Structure 1
Amino acid sequence: MKYRTLNLRIRMASLALLAGTGIAVSSAAQAEEDKGSINLAYVEWSSEVASTNVIAAVLEQAGYEVDLTSLSAAAMFQALSTGDADAIVAAWLPTTHAEYMERVGDSTEDLGANLDGTKLGLVVPEYADIDSIADLNDNADSFNGEIIGIDPGAGLMALSEKVVDTYDLGLNLRSGSGATMTAALSSAINNEENIVVTGWTPHWMFARFDLKYLDDPKNVYGGAEQIHTVVRQGLKDDMPEAYAILDAFEWTPEQMGEVMLLNQEDGSDPYENAKQWIEDNQDIVEQWLGS
């Protein structure tokens, strides 16, 4: 996949009062609530598209103008360290993005987990007749001699390269994107063919297909991870309310999965889906807003 940077200026036409009153404020009152602009960077993973759009819509509800910047994983952390981005809700720790965090740690602040219970690994259809990464070599032909990966800059791909080396796999790790990976997975399952892909939880594909992780007896992928919120140094002083909202942001894999499934509908808009989820879950959002 060719990396591209996409800047989306998301502007509010109106602002509803919090706590579900449904009463719109006037444009003048909205202007008074304008608290400045905040830039959120993210990677084009379905999980990060979901979470970043949700927190963007919440920050806008609180009166901020929000820029969303789509970047590769490396560029995302670099933008955070230089102050070009104010925050991310997309840091997979302690394993996947550990190297990036080591590089930018002095110029960023880790606010902790916004989602607990993630997992990384190699994924196959439930009907596949293997259960371990160690079995892949003996069944390489049935998997077309390849592992279908995602974007080459992703931490998951770096770990998967290590898996290939550690297990001395004779399969080629093919890079692409999250979209090409799920398209290949869908095609294989529709044709009842074997396929092995780089996968992670939470992801909508586990709700749509019967899948399983291959056992990793050498524990290259590590244990369960968390997704963390990380902000640039100084954000707490510059935008204390936005900082507090980002610090309070926390949800479950099931809640994230609801948004990810909405995003898979043809023609759907991730930002509009985020706003719909927020409308349907005001009790959760109010906790983030400190209401």
Structure 2
Amino acid sequence: MKICKFFRTFTVALVVALGMATIPATSYAAKGVVKIWEGDWTGNLVFGKLTEIILEEHMDYKVKQIFMAGTAGWEAMAAGDLDIALETWPSYNADAKARYFAEYGGDGSVVYVTESGVVGASDYYVPRYVCEGDSARGIKATAPDLCMHAKGQCTNCGLEKLNQYADVFAAPETAPKGRLVGCPVAGWGCDDQKRLDLNGVNFEAVELGTDTAQWAELTAAFKRGDPILVYAWEPLWIFAAYDLVGIGIPKNGDGSCWPACGWPEDVTFQSANPDFANSHPDVIQMLKNMKLSNAQQAPMIFDVDVEKMTVEDAVRKWMASNEDMWRPWIP
């Protein structure tokens, strides 16, 4: 076991060393180098590039982003081989929270800095025109009660409103039941049909096999102005492309209601190595100031995932149009 731990530690150190070797000595800024843990999802990359640009161009630091997968990144954070991690999703890092974060019973070798502003959420969604209509397109509202949760007229009441609209969402293969485009892959464990059945909803959940097929069907429905009820999660590029409304499925508190209820919210956060946090209070203050809501982040995700822009181009485009938002982040 000690040998395995030695090799894990050696591997982490080697990855970091190789990454650092790519920075020319002459490129160091006056305040030194900040090593950011680079993840593999677009939201993390957006936060990383924003941080890099602000630190390098406005705070006299040099930034190195180093990709690591899974537990190796947390080991590197704890060891000081990485300095900060951005847009961490709690539900995907439960073991790390319990091991490294004092706030969750860990040893304090990684510190919680602040919420990122992005809140991961899943729901069943309809186009806004389904419940409000769209006079410009000549579309009449066909399921007005499905906007009640979004308007604050009821709380998490979406499933109980569905049966009256089964015919609106019915398809030839599901009629007389309504059709829910559920999680595209059974392996995701969404239990859509179980949720519908446990709540007495007269709908059938269908799986399309891939999220690509899912968004293609959503796009086609939008172009035709047709009703569609679809599972989705936020943040995601579709929310920048289409005006969608979550119907509000039952809230997941402690998880005991699953699968009758929905998914818990993921309040994403930023974290740091404690020694780095203590010695670089200006960086930590910048992270605390830097907040992006799902809606504010969505255009950048859209530009990267759909328009195929580089992360840097998408971020600089956003910064050019939102200087009044990001400049106050600089301490």
TM-score by length of 1: 0.64
What's the CA shift for 1:186? 2.0
Read off the aligned partner of 1:69 and give its amino acid letter: F
How does 1:92-131 map onto structure 2 within 5 Å? 92=89, 96-97=91-92, 99-100=94-95, 101-102=97-98, 104-105=100-101, 106=106, 107-115=109-117, 119-126=121-128, 127=130, 129=143, 131=146
Contact kept in structure 2, 1:108 and 1:232, CA below 8 Å: yes
SS at match of 1:65: strand
Contact in 2 for aligned 1:150/1:198 (Cα 8 Å): no
Q: 1:64 to 1:242 in 2, by over 3 A?
A: farther
Among candidates 230, 241, 246, match of residue 196 of structure 1: 230
Q: Quick check: 1:205 aligned with 2:238?
A: yes
* Letter paired with 2:247: L
2:52 aligns with 56
Separation (CA, whole Å) in 2 of partners of 1:173 and 1:150? 6
Which structure: greater strand fraction?
A: 1
Task: Tell me which of 73, 76, 94 is aligned to 1:79.
Answer: 73
1:44 Cα deviation (Å)? 1.7
| Cα deviation, residue 38, structure 1 | 0.8
Aligned residues of 1:149 and 1:198 also touching (Cα < 8 A): no
Q: Where does the alignment leave 5 or more consecutive residues of structure 2 unmatched?
A: 1-17, 131-141, 147-157, 199-203, 253-260
Post-superposition offset of 1:90? 1.4
Residue in 2 that maps onto 1:248: 289
Query: CA separation of 1:244/1:217 partners in 2, compared to 1, >3 Å: closer, same or farther?
Result: closer
Does 2:149 correspond to 1:147? no
SS of equivalent residue, structure 2 residue 182 = strand
User: Aligned partners of 1:278 and 1:232: how far apart in 2?
Assistant: 28
Larger Rg: 2
Q: Which has the higher helix share?
A: 2
- For 1:246 and 1:150, locate their aligned partners in 2 and report how far apart those are by CA, in whole Å: 36
8 Å Cα contact 2:179-2:206 kept in structure 1: no
Shift of 1:32: 4.2
Q: CA RMSD in A?
A: 4.3
Look up the SS of the partner of 1:217 in the other structure: coil
Could you tell me which residue of structure 2 aligns to residue 23 of structure 1? none
Question: Hey, what's the Cα distance between the residues in 2 that align with 1:32 and 1:224?
Answer: 39
The structure whose RCO (Cα within 8 Å, separation 6+) is larger is 1
1:7-30 Cα offsets, whole Å, 9 max, x none, are: 999x999xxxxxxxxxxxxx96x5
Q: For 1:145 and 1:32, how far apart are their aligned partners in 2?
A: 54
Whole-angstrom distance in 1 between the partners of 2:112 and 2:186: 25
**How far off is 1:121 after superposition?**
1.3
> How far 1:82 sits from its partner (Å)?
4.2
Q: What displacement does 1:118 show?
A: 5.8
Tell me which residue corresponds to 1:3: none
- Do the aligned partners of 2:237 and 2:306 also contact (CA within 8 Å) in 1? no
Identical-residue share of aligned pairs (%)? 13
Q: Which range moves more in the overlay, 127-136 or 281-290?
A: 127-136
Q: For 2:62, give the aligned amino acid.
A: Y
Q: Distance in 2 between matches of 1:55 and 1:32?
A: 15
Partner of 1:186: 219
How many angstroms apart in 2 are the aligned matches of 1:97 and 1:31? 34
Report if the CA contact (8 A) 1:39-1:67 is conserved.
Answer: yes
CA gap of 1:249–1:149, structure 2 versus 1, over 3 A, is: farther
Change (3 A) 1:70 1:199: farther
Instruction: Say whether 1:39 aligns with 2:36.
Output: yes
Superposed, 1:132-143 pairs within 5 Å as 132-133=158-159, 135=162, 141=174
How many angstroms apart in 2 are the aligned matches of 1:244 and 1:54? 15
Q: Secondary structure in 2 aligned to 1:266?
A: coil
